[in-house]
Amino acid sequence: MSTRPISDYAFLGDCRSAALVASDGSVDWLCFPRFDSPAFFARLLDDDAGHWSIRPTGPAEITRRYIEGTLVLETTFHTPGGTAVLVDALAFGRRERGHGIGASSPGVLLREATCVEGTVTLAVTYAPRPEFGLVRPLMEPVRGGLIARGGAHVLTLSIPADLETDGSTAHATVTLTAGQRFGLALHAGAAWETEPQCWNQRLIHRRIKDTIEGWRSWSRQHARYQGPWQNQVAHSGRVLRALTFAPTGAIVAAATTSLPEEAGGVRNWDYRYTWVRDASLTLQALDSAACEKEEAAFFGFLARAAATRLDHASDLQIMYGVGGERDLSERPLPHLTGWRGSAPVRVGNDAWRQRQLDVYGELLDAAHQLHSTTTHRQYDPITRTFLLGAAETAARRWQEPDQGIWEIRGPSRHFLHSKLMCWVALDRAIALAPALGATDRVGGWERIRAQIRTAILTQGWNPDAGAFTQAFGDPHLDASALTIPMVGFLPGDDPRVQATVNAIATNLTDARGLVRRYTTADGLPGGEGTFLLCAFWLAHALALTGQAARAERVFQTAVSHANDVGLLAEEVDTDTGEPIGNFPQAFSHIGLINAACAIRDRQDARFDAGPQP
């Protein structure tokens, strides 16, 4: 059983795939060549599912950081005999820079240890287990390294040391003195392709430096944000970029599968896909982080992947694979015990079958955001037809029940957030009508938008709760109501908005100051922790209601739950305060960026208005 805290991991990305590295130098998660590929190392989910560690043979004091402006990890081991620095990176293509990083990433994990003081002896343990641990490969020493064969892939490990093999595990011990370097590289290729050559030390060192400069060049081009928490916003922008599948522009919700919402529970989902639900919030965050090309690429992916003829019998799918795949059928991996016994471990996600009416609003809001930041943007005929179909479907179906933003696996209901986003769909379609060639439809859209508004104000507001609630006729609160002022449905100074924000702050906030999504039954056993996105939403909404000081406190509480290298999980365990859920979570970093911008804007407005009474 894997028991290591989720917060102990750092994230590596090459804009195609992901690796997680523990603080002691163990790579416990690696998927090549895509985020959603089967893992070669999956000790994150089971101790026997593969890892690759480089660590001192004796006791060591460990510190780590990302090299400035990058997602290249630097881990320092202070031992009684000396100090060594381990640098880890997923390689970019040769001399990829700026917006082009990840365009031709070779699928190589680079590791280089340097002794900077005294003498340090390092132990290397290499235990590849392709297909989430199902394959125990055969190993063959070759000049400059080791070949591992089994299943659909061949793994080539470049290492300048002799390895001893024990079954499907290899070991080496290397002693370095001050000034000596020791570089390793791991390449995964298809079993039927020509086996790659081992990399020499000079090439490994050069490609690490090249990857560092690739990240730094991207960061220099995306340094527009000025304001509070500037470093966290910039870092979150890099995390979002690393969670982007460069060939298509898709952004995955997280780098992992089946890290649970409750330790030992069954709420274990595969997040290595792209949700339409995240679209408008993602584009807002990308815009704030000065990622204009990433905005266009992400919307382009959504428009291509989601394109379908929408009629009375069809719905817009809520999520897609990073290549645009639609069938994401879920299946368990029973041979894996799961993180802290959280089973089943799943690949795929059956939420793709659900109906969620909010996706029409998120899609059209994303189109509107991109249109407003791109001068004279013209839609191609297929995209125009598709967006028109999305607006018409929202207009036709807004009165139907669905599963809601949180993908409730129970009966369909009339969720307030779904109605709100149907209102957004028509509101943004009306604004986009000239670009869509649909000015003749504006009158009908305006009438239905008004009907939705009336329904939300009369049926979504619950007098007993004194707030907008989770669903029509339901007294229970839901943090998604915090988005009402964010999407422009009501202003922040509206008394109903302020009452809703205060009710959520009072009733959905735990002792740590973090926010639950809801407290109602959702059709699944067990429970979950507080949801970091919702804490950032609360900070965002407090800023919009003019409560800047409270907004800053909530924001600071949420961001304090990042780990030592600034990464945020999906949730926080209400009992222990430990990060839980898939990691790193795009939604959490998106919420950080958007809330920081809202608080900054409120601070600027307060300053511009002069001293307050």
Is it the case that residue 286 has pLDDT exceeding 90? Answer: no
Residue burial 413-438, b: 16+ Cβ < 10 Å; e: rest: bbbbbbbbbbbbbbbbbbbbbebbeb
Residue pLDDT, tens place only, 514-571: 999 999 888 788 889 999 999 999 999 999 999 999 999 999 999 999 999 999 999 9
Q: Where are the beta strands (DSSP E) in 164-226?
A: 164-166, 169-177, 181-190
Q: Are residues 279 and 186 in the same domain?
A: no
Residue 312 is predicted with a pLDDT of 56
Q: Are residues 126 and 268 in the same domain?
A: no
Q: Are residues 285 and 176 in the same domain?
A: no
Share of the chain above pLDDT 70, in %: 96
Residue 405 is predicted with a pLDDT of 93
Q: Assess if residue 390 is contained within a domain.
A: yes
Range of the domain at 398: 222-307+314-322+351-608
Q: Which residue did the predictor score with more confidence, 251 or 308?
A: 251
Contact 425, 364 (CB under 8 A): yes
Q: Assess if residue 464 is contained within a domain.
A: yes
Q: Assess if residue 344 is contained within a domain.
A: no
Q: Are residues 296 and 170 in the same domain?
A: no
84-88, 203-207, 367-371, 588-592: range with lowest mean pLDDT: 367-371
Residue 531 is predicted with a pLDDT of 97
Of 219, 244, 275, which residue sits at a domain end? Answer: 219
Residue 298 is predicted with a pLDDT of 86
Q: DSSP readout, 72-84? A: -EEEEEEETTEEE
Residue 610 is predicted with a pLDDT of 41
Contact 44, 31 (CB under 8 A): no
Q: Are residues 174 and 241 in the same domain?
A: no
70-79, 130-139, 171-180, 402-411: range with lowest mean pLDDT: 402-411
Residue 376 is predicted with a pLDDT of 53
Question: pLDDT-derived band of residue 375, with 50, 70 and 90 as boundaries?
Answer: low
Angle between helices 230-242 and 201-221 (to 10 degrees): 120
Q: What share of the chain is helix, strand, coil (3-state, %, to 5)?
A: 35, 25, 40
Angle between helices 586-608 and 279-288 (to 10 degrees): 60
Q: Are residues 38 and 182 in the same domain?
A: yes
Q: Which residue did the predictor score with more confidence, 125 or 384?
A: 125
Residue 463 is predicted with a pLDDT of 96
Question: pLDDT-derived band of residue 605, with 50, 70 and 90 as boundaries?
Answer: low
Q: Are residues 270 and 196 in the same domain?
A: no
Is it the case that residue 580 has pLDDT exceeding 50? Answer: yes
User: Mean of the per-residue pLDDT values for the chain?
Assistant: 93
Mean pLDDT of 372-399: 83
Q: Are residues 269 and 366 in the same domain?
A: yes
Is it the case that residue 179 has pLDDT exceeding 80? Answer: yes
Residue 373 is predicted with a pLDDT of 64
Residue 339 is predicted with a pLDDT of 97
Q: Assess if residue 301 is contained within a domain.
A: yes
Residue 150 is predicted with a pLDDT of 92
Q: Which residue did the predictor score with more confidence, 126 or 408?
A: 126
Q: Are residues 232 and 204 in the same domain?
A: no
Of 194, 219, 244, which residue sits at a domain end? Answer: 219
Q: Are residues 124 and 273 in the same domain?
A: no
Residue 609 is predicted with a pLDDT of 43
Q: How many domains does the chain have?
A: 2
Residue 311 is predicted with a pLDDT of 63
Q: Assess if residue 334 is contained within a domain.
A: no
Is it the case that residue 349 has pLDDT exceeding 60? Answer: yes
Residue 290 is predicted with a pLDDT of 63
Q: Assess if residue 153 is contained within a domain.
A: yes
In sequence order, the β-bridge partners of residue 53 are 26, 125
Is it the case that residue 48 has pLDDT exceeding 70? Answer: yes
Q: Assess if residue 335 is contained within a domain.
A: no
Q: Residue 48 is part of a domain; what is its CATH number? A: 2.70.98.40
Residue pLDDT, tens place only, 389-400: 999 999 999 999
Question: pLDDT-derived band of residue 316, with 50, 70 and 90 as boundaries?
Answer: confident
Residue 613 is predicted with a pLDDT of 32
Residue 606 is predicted with a pLDDT of 57
Q: Are residues 256 and 151 in the same domain?
A: no
Mean pLDDT of 274-289: 80
Is it the case that residue 607 has pLDDT exceeding 70? Answer: no
Residue 521 is predicted with a pLDDT of 83
Of 219, 245, 272, which residue sits at a domain end? Answer: 219
Question: pLDDT-derived band of residue 271, with 50, 70 and 90 as boundaries?
Answer: very high
Q: Residue 538 is part of a domain; what is its CATH number? A: 1.50.10.10
**Residue type present at position 380:** D
Q: What are the two backbone dihedrals, phi and then psi, of residue 155, each rounded to the nearest 5 degrees?
A: -110, 130
pTM assigned to the model:
0.95
Contact 339, 8 (CB under 8 A): no
Residue 386 is predicted with a pLDDT of 87
Q: Assess if residue 331 is contained within a domain.
A: no
Q: Quick check: helix, strand or coil at residue 572?
A: strand
Q: Are residues 256 and 166 in the same domain?
A: no
Residue pLDDT, tens place only, 18-46: 999 999 999 999 999 999 999 999 999 99
Question: Cα separation of 490 and 541, whole Å?
Answer: 12
Helix (H) or strand (E) holding 159: none
Question: pLDDT-derived band of residue 612, with 50, 70 and 90 as boundaries?
Answer: very low
Is it the case that residue 119 has pLDDT exceeding 50? Answer: yes
